[in-house]
Structure 1
């Protein structure tokens, strides 16, 4: 069984967060330009939401990241691969609190087992006027990710970074709209758009990225564009913000 599978996430150990996560945060904070600047929100902002980029230790001695496959019955981005998270509610004390609450609701992870490292710069998803705060976090007491809310999540995995960083698992995603962006594949999951761009940026800033062949291109599978639907970053790119 893959260590990234839901059943393999039994809580058995805890480990301090690795230095590369803090290094990623420091480099993002001091960067003059890059991924986060390209998608900075406009002055008038938009509806607030947040996602949790949750890394944790695995039994192989490395780290993994929690990814979810959105429920196939959702009206927006059905079946897309994402980080857990969602809309900030009035009772949420912060964007990080919203991400922790949504993660617990979607995949059953106890917020008490998570260390919030930082709220990263906001990203604007123009089609729906969402201002998304990525929350960088460390799961110091990793456990199962199979306590999902089926109305929101089809399945969740703990994807090992060693697998995601393997050059054989990386490629450039293309779309007839003109979108070009990084892609990952793990356990049958095609990771692209907002999630892949954000994950790739954090891994780059953390100094983990292994050289990969960016000339290897794969078109966006039809299942991710029913009725002509386009991912938020795809539309953003075509509007000239990328």
Structure 2
């Protein structure tokens, strides 16, 4: 696979079987340029020049409280497409100006068996960054742009381990911005970093045990 491509046959992208009643959802995977990178430069952008938009869900939510996620959510009847869904949710959650976003691709959907959602990551480029912040503290605790260099740093990489009802779930995970990024969001980031040829070796035996 050439650098810059994501392998759709990687098993991490394969949807799980969630049945005929799967609900559609979409998340916005928005890459941009760090604020401290000069606007005019004679060199091509490197991974260390970039960041990605994430948010921390409110602890009071009934579903996935406190988890770090991409902006996004379930598709509403008025959403003409999954791209529209991802952008609408991002606006509602972060105050993002969608006119500054260039959509690049819809990645293969991932089925989340526990919640019954079939989630499509929408890959996008932040051509004209706009201010973002928490819109509703009942929904999100913080909105933040995470430097890609922090995600690539082996010191920030761990394997997240969650044990619940006798079942052990593991996923790639990142310790950044004072929070743990794990589960669906970390799996998407891990697959993207690998597919783009940006990943560096890290200690997969280093565990972070997550409280259920």
User: Residue in 2 aligned with 1:58?
Assistant: 34
Matched, 1:123 2:147: no
Given the alignment, which residue of 24, 41, 63 partners 1:76? 63
Q: 100-109 vs 57-66, which deviates more?
A: 57-66
Given the alignment, which residue of 107, 111, 118 partners 2:94? 107
User: Residue in 2 aligned with 1:11?
Assistant: none
Matched, 1:35 2:12: yes
Secondary structure of 1:178 counterpart: strand
C-alpha contact (below 8 Å) 2:18/2:117 kept by paired residues: no
Secondary structure of 1:128 counterpart: coil
Measured in 1, the distance between the counterparts of 2:207 and 2:18 equals 31
User: Residue in 1 aligned with 2:155?
Assistant: 168
Given the alignment, which residue of 46, 50, 57 partners 2:22? 46
Q: CA deviation at 1:117?
A: 0.6
Q: CA deviation at 1:59?
A: 3.0
Q: CA deviation at 1:42?
A: 5.0
User: Residue in 2 aligned with 1:5?
Assistant: none
Q: CA deviation at 1:60?
A: 4.0
User: Residue in 2 aligned with 1:237?
Assistant: none
Higher strand share: 2
Q: CA deviation at 1:32?
A: 2.9
User: Residue in 2 aligned with 1:6?
Assistant: none
Q: 98-107 vs 41-50, which deviates more?
A: 41-50
What per-residue deviation string (whole Å, max 9, x for no partner) do you get for residues 196-215 of structure 1?
Answer: 11111111111111111111
User: Residue in 2 aligned with 1:196?
Assistant: 186
Measured in 2, the distance between the counterparts of 1:192 and 1:42 equals 21
What per-residue deviation string (whole Å, max 9, x for no partner) do you get for residues 75-114 of structure 1?
Answer: 1111110000011111111001000000001000011010
Measured in 2, the distance between the counterparts of 1:85 and 1:199 equals 15
Measured in 2, the distance between the counterparts of 1:170 and 1:54 equals 21
Secondary structure of 2:186 counterpart: helix
- Unmatched segments (≥5 aa) in structure 2: 38-48
Measured in 1, the distance between the counterparts of 2:9 and 2:55 equals 31
User: Residue in 1 aligned with 2:144?
Assistant: 157
- Unmatched segments (≥5 aa) in structure 1: 1-19, 226-242
TM-score, normalising length from structure 1? 0.77
Matched, 1:211 2:201: yes
